Chains A and B, each alone.
Chain A
Amino acid sequence: MSANANARPRVGLFVTCLVDLYRPSVGFAAVKLLERGGCAVDAPLAQTCCGQPAYNSGDRADTAAIAKQVIEAFEGFDYVVAPSGSCAGMIRHHYPTLFADDGDWARRAADLGAKTFELVSFLTGVCGMTEVEAKLDRTVTYHDSCSGLRELKIKEQPRRLLATVDELELVELPTAETCCGFGGTFCIKYSDVSAEMVRRKSDDIQATGADLLLAGDMGCLLNMAGKLKREGADIQVRHVAEVLAGMTDGPAIGEEG
């Protein structure tokens, strides 16, 4: 925690471009959860995107420029938290690699990476949160988004907190660890392959019998929600933070407001 043990840790919320643009409610859910976890939260206005579209397309120069901007906007905080395993993984693991041979930036990238976390794992691992005050009478299933799962080892943390939501029942998705086919620009560049991957995912989700699908990354959620809606499946889709924060009154992803 911060230098002064009595002061609340200052968390910079990296809201992620997809949350910012598509689903601000996830950002507000994150703020609520972080405050309940004892943090002082601010969202720097200069933030845009973590640079993954450029990075994954091989555009290293632009990625570095965007990354420097993120480092400058967030390095003053005690922690950086993102409601996304993918963006948090980008800052935590890929920024240090990106600047490995770049003197002072290497140090600044490594420092920022070390204090950057995905939201749910931050709540359980750093804030020591063991339960949430929320109630939801639904049967839910959970998709483990790939970057969070493999780069940040996020697997049991969301399940542990979901287990404390009153009346919520979790049924496991047998293919929870299989990619849904979003993959950033992949879903546009190789749209037929992506479509087949999300078609399989949608079948698997529907086979669980759950009426609500949760995950921790907006990209995967938009992809899976889009497919489930296209197929007319009667399953709602939400970011896990909305459920943990008890903010499920608004419309689910892809539904009428």
Chain B
Amino acid sequence: MQPKSHLFKEESTKAIGDANLQSALKNLQTGFVAARARAADGLDEFEALRDEAVTLKDHILANLDFYLERFEEKVTEAGGTVHFCATAEEARQTILELCRRYGAKSVTKGKSMVAEEVALNPFLEANGIEPVETDLGEYIIQLAKEAPSHIIGPAVHKTKEQVSDLFHEHHAKYGRTERLTEAEDLVTEAREVLRQKYFDADVGITGANFLIAETGSTIIVTNEGNGDLTQMLPKAHVVISAIDKVVPTLEDVSTILRVLARSATGQEMSAYTTLSTGPKREGDLDGPEGFHVVLLDNGRSDLLGTDKQDLLRCIRCGACMNHCPVYTAVGGHAYGWVYPGPIGAALDPHIVGLEEARHLPNASTFCGRCEQVCPMRIPLPKIMRHWREEAFERGLPPARERLALKGWAWMARHPWAYRLAARIGIGVMGRLGRRRGGRFRDLPLARAWTKSRDMPAPEGRTFIDRWKAGERG
């Protein structure tokens, strides 16, 4: 996906003015937040489980090469193949070659953020292969020719009415001309339309929530079961995943699974947890003939041993975005790349470059709620701060901003100058403010503030001046 993160300001303003988007985002704020709170409160050992999951993931990251090698060995033993890909381009080419090897004209896809990261769909299309998204949310945005706006709810930015319009427009070719308005009917129609696609596909591509080193299995968790059909019916199953998804054992996975769904949707577990181990064996009734795991690095290993390594603990639950007041105000598309919200603000600058993504770590109030709800306790504000420091060192913020900041810092470091300026400035503002009823409706030097809110007037003399003069209240 071509990053558009440099347009964050323009896109966020547009998003705030988009009535459909705002109506869709409203549900997100109330639904997921309350559900997570209930799930966390309902499990006494939730905090202890989070700690356990963090310790486990840190251990994995410290021994990542070991577990990846072990995983590859086990996949091979089971009759599958692991393809290590350093870059997005390598991953795309590898998957294209696999599709060609199996003579694929169409592929079904289960949900995968990594596939979005490498921009797989447009690449396959450009090479004459039709990708069909089978996750309902992904299917909706594929029809709308959009990117996901959320990690677990790719179409969370769409209202039911917009989905109704999309289905009405795109399903006529399957003889379905009636306009549906009920959610349940829309889901049923999507199921029926997708059914034949599963049988027609030559290759099924899914993501993976986890890769199990001890067995060579890959795991996907879904609520729709579409992943099972995607991987079972075609000739080959191609898993695309990032290297940081490996976990030593099945038991370890159960620890993380217990915090994953609770953090994401407030469920105890997702409806389906599907394990895939190698291709169909002799005597198996079903299953693919080929099993391939495409493992993407794309800069992740560069994070190991750095102050941003904690990012690799992310299990893609989306809790940070559900709870982020910036994300819930502007939605995911404003972030301009695959991973939106706080995790995107911390991760995207590393993958797409800080020049491109400079706004993302800055567009946060540091309210800290993302870190509070992150099941893997990723210090997201701290990582955003690292990016701000790097951007500042490299001179990326606009000159006007840097100058204003330097001016303030100089004053703060010279108390005599600060006191003098404060006395004059606050004195004038206090007098003007009293004449204007205690607040300013328009301050030419603070239009960014007064465009939408009044600026309360200062009392008129500073505390320190009054304290120095012996006043005590």
Residue numbers of A with Cβ under 8 A of B are: 15, 17, 19-25, 27-29, 31-32, 43, 45-49, 51, 53-60, 62-63, 65-66, 69, 146-147, 150-151, 177-179, 181-200, 222-223, 225-227, 229-230, 247, 251, 253-257
Q: What band does the interface of chain B fall in when counting residues whose beta carbon is under 8 Å from A?
A: 35 or more
Q: In the complex, A184 Cα to B366 Cα: how many Å? A: 9
B330 at the interface (CB under 8 A from A): yes
15 A–B contacts, CB within 8 A, in A order? A25-B459, A29-B473, A48-B415, A51-B412, A55-B385, A57-B392, A65-B409, A65-B413, A150-B372, A151-B368, A181-B325, A183-B365, A190-B9, A195-B16, A196-B16
B438 proximal to A (CB < 8 A): yes
Say yes or no: A254 contacts B456, CB within 8 Å.
yes
- Cβ proximity bits B394-432 to A, threshold 8 Å, 1 near / 0 not: 000100010001101101110100110010001000000
Q: State whether A195 and B408 are in contact (beta carbons under 8 Å apart), knowing that A57-B388, A181-B325 are contacts in the complex.
A: no
Question: Please, which residues of chain B bring their CB within 8 A of the CB of A24?
Answer: 459, 461-463, 466
CB of B292, distance to nearest CB on chain A (Å): 42
Q: Is the CB of A179 within 8 A of B367?
A: yes
Tell me whether B408 and A53 are in contact (CB under 8 A): yes
Interface 1/0 per residue, B357-379 and A, CB below 8 Å: 00000111111110110000000
Chain B contacts of A183 at CB under 8 A?
364-367
Q: For residue B409, which residues in chain A have a CB less than 8 angstroms away from its CB?
A: 51, 53-54, 59, 62-63, 65-66
Q: For the complex, is B77 an interface residue (Cβ under 8 Å from A)?
A: no
Q: Looking across the interface, which residue of chain B has its beta carbon closest to that of A66? A: B412
Q: In the assembly, what is the distance between CA of A83 and CA of B360, in Å?
A: 31
Please give me the residue from chain B that is nearest to A25 by CB atom: B459
Which A residues touch B449, using CB under 8 A?
Answer: 187-188, 191, 226
Beta-carbon contact of B388 and A190 below 8 Å: no
Across-interface contacts of A66 in B (CB, < 8 A): 409, 412-413
**B386 (CB) vs chain A CBs: closest residue:** A58
Q: Are A58's CB and B434's CB within 8 A?
A: no
**Secondary structure type dominating chain B contacts:** helix
CB distance from A205 to the nearest CB of B (A): 13
Give the docked Cα–Cα distance between A27 and B462 (Å): 10
Give residues in B with beta carbon < 8 Å to A: 9, 12-13, 16, 325-326, 329-330, 362-369, 371-372, 385, 387-393, 397, 401, 405-406, 408-409, 411-413, 415, 418-419, 422, 426, 434, 437-439, 441, 446, 448-449, 451-459, 461-464, 466-468, 471-473
Q: How far is the CA of A80 from the CA of B448 in the complex (A)?
A: 34
Residues of B within 8 A of A247 (CB): 473
A200 and B326 alpha carbons, distance in the complex (Å): 12
**CB-based contact B413/A69 at 8 Å:** yes
For A195, give its contact among B392, B401, B413, B452 (CB under 8 Å).
Answer: B452
Contact, CB under 8 Å: B388 / A254 = no
| Chain B residues within an 8 Å CB radius of A227 | 452-454
Known interface pairs A22-B456, A65-B413, A188-B448; A257-B438 also in contact (CB < 8 Å): yes
Q: Which residues of B contact A199 (CB under 8 A)?
A: 452
Give the nearest-CB partner of B392 in chain A: A58
Q: How far is the CB of A252 from chain B (nearest CB, A)?
A: 8
Bound state CA distance, A45 and B423, in angstroms? Answer: 14
How distant is the Cα of A245 from the Cα of B252 in the complex, in angstroms? 53
A-B CB proximity, top 5 nearest: A183-B365, A58-B392, A58-B388, A254-B456, A195-B452
On whether the beta carbons of A192 and B463 are closer than 8 Å, the reply is: no
Closest residue of chain A to B415 (Cβ to Cβ) is A46
Question: In the bound complex, do residue A60 and residue B413 qualify as a contact, i.e. CB atoms below 8 Å apart?
Answer: no
Contact of A58 among B325, B391, B454 (CB under 8 A): B391
Which single member of A20, A198, A257 contacts B434 (CB below 8 Å)? A257
Q: Report chain B residues within 8 Å CB of A178.
A: 325, 369
User: Which residues on the B side are within 8 Å of A59 (C-beta)?
Assistant: 389, 392, 405-406, 409
Residues in B whose Cβ lies below 8 Å from that of A21:
422, 426, 458, 462
Docked Cα-Cα span, A199 to B451, in Å, equals 12
The answer, among B369, B401, B452, B455, for a CB contact under 8 Å with A150, is: B369
A229 to B325, Cβ gap below 8 A? Answer: no
In the complex with contacts A15-B464, A24-B463, A58-B391, A222-B367 CB distance below 8 A: no
Q: Would you call B405 and A45 a contact (CB within 8 A)?
A: no
* Residues in B whose Cβ lies below 8 Å from that of A17: 412
Q: Shortest Cβ distance from A245 into chain B, in angstroms?
A: 8
